Amino acid sequence: MKIRIKYRRARFTVEAERKTTCEVCGKGGKIDFHHCKYAYKTSEVRKNPQLALENTAQLCYNCHRIADCIRMLAEHPEDTRKAQKLLDDIVAEEKARNSKE
């Protein structure tokens, strides 16, 4: 079956089978393709649209949001470390405040 798939900011029509349940949680409903990794430049995918299916999983909305966050964390390790330090500092301050009460 022909489907439309988004790769980065471009859209392509490719041959693929849509699953009816999420590959992570098993729930049904609206299932979309999630790119775990963008392995190609958009210009390469324009030449061979089937490449847009590589490194994908078919996920429900909630699992797709989680997977997007995981991909972003993996793509930006230094920012991830900074954000984790900030969160750790906030938690430590909250614990210190609660222990004084």
Q: Quick one: which H or E segment has residue 87?
A: helix 77-100
Average pLDDT for residues 29-47, to the nearest whole number?
94
Closest to 56 in 3D by CA, of 91, 1, 97, 8: 8
Average pLDDT for residues 21-34, to the nearest whole number?
95
Beta-carbon contacts of residue 45 (< 8 Å; ≥ 6 apart): 7, 10, 12, 51, 52
Q: Does the structure show a pLDDT above 80 at 27?
A: yes
Give the Cα separation of 39 and 52 in Å (integer): 9
- Site of tokens 């991830």: 80
Residue 49 CA to its chain's centroid (Å): 20
Percent of the chain with pLDDT over 90: 80
Give the Cα separation of 44 and 47 in Å (integer): 5
CB 54 within 8 A of CB 36: no
| pLDDT digit string, tens, across residues 51-76 | 999 999 999 999 999 999 999 888 89
Give the Cα separation of 64 and 19 in Å (integer): 14
Q: Does the structure show a pLDDT above 80 at 101?
A: no
